Structure 1
């Protein structure tokens, strides 16, 4: 099976401002394979976001290595890793350009990572295609192609961010607590859409969540983190036999 990401002894140490060195990622070893859908659980300060940041390249390792599709990217900055991955953030404002319309945002996502020359946008030529894409989401976004994204609801914006992140079928999709800022009903709807996109298009994805129910229901692997370490890596067979009470025991 194709290995998408491999972390070897990945560690991050930071100065906490009091001349003390704090380890926020501690000798992490992790292999992620094609079509894996990993859900990641852990309390505050467990190292979940740090793990995402070192994979994305927004935070550099102090020691250890990381490779994506066999390429050593340990010292590559985020912009050099962008060809491999997409990320949906917790804040719905992070994934879209607020003053640009829905159609304009989708056009950026469509040509993401490609070399561009100065040429007319030809946005009208894409409107039918974009309208059909948005109809699949089912929250009325297809009626807002010409609406600036800053005027959309948080749920609509996050659904658009998810669509933009998956439009070019990234090698790795990072879902960084992407439902946390939404109300329960909208969160449920977005998770249904996420599952559709990830499993339907056979994407490889990592999802940080604080919702035990989402971690139980979605994904084929479960990672539990504590104090910068991976303390549990549960495979599909084990995960399918677990109940919500088993998840709460991880935090006792």
Structure 2
């Protein structure tokens, strides 16, 4: 009996010691990652893309030889300050909930005369070829810097999309029976050195959403939220959705709703 108690006490002591070491190690890793991100942020290459986006916004292009300066992103024609932070939202003229990218493509079609295929042909950058959409989204996103994300999803159509996004977030699917929530539904998750935020909380969702679009060092390119979510689904071995798919906009609506109240800091920079 005494021996058993002694073993228990020793076991608890060892567990506590190793647990403390693990916590200290995690803390050290987190500190080093924070220093790494701080170093990367000094001279974000996305700043150059933002300048290109500003030029594209006012440039007359397309069959109608028109600029995007009258594009309504939800706050009125041409009003950009805070627009990104308020999307996705319901638009009466299309009777749809739209994010920044779907609304931007809508403006390229209606104002500039591009076909949907022409507008989305180069929706993400490739080696040696930057994407006009990524440049425009980077410019638009930066116009919300210092402003709070505001996607309460109070309109019935917005609420429906947020609910659909929540369903997708928790739905297990694909050959690995995977869901978004497996990685992003609880605290303390990490893949290798990459921290995985809990996107069900304001803090976690806010940390994730406030810095997109972001420059990804490993890819040497700016990624938009559409590209990030589509790539997440690909990595989870789900069927890859089309660009501007309702499923992606629904996920964005759910995540932006969770992140509401968080202050925007974009373009961000990721590993």
Q: Same fold (TM over 0.5)?
A: no
Q: TM-score, normalised by structure 2?
A: 0.23
Larger RCO, structure (CA 8 Å, separation 6 or more): 1
More helix by share: 2
- TM-score, structure 1 as length reference: 0.24
Decide which structure has the larger Cα Rg and report it: 2
More strand by share: 1
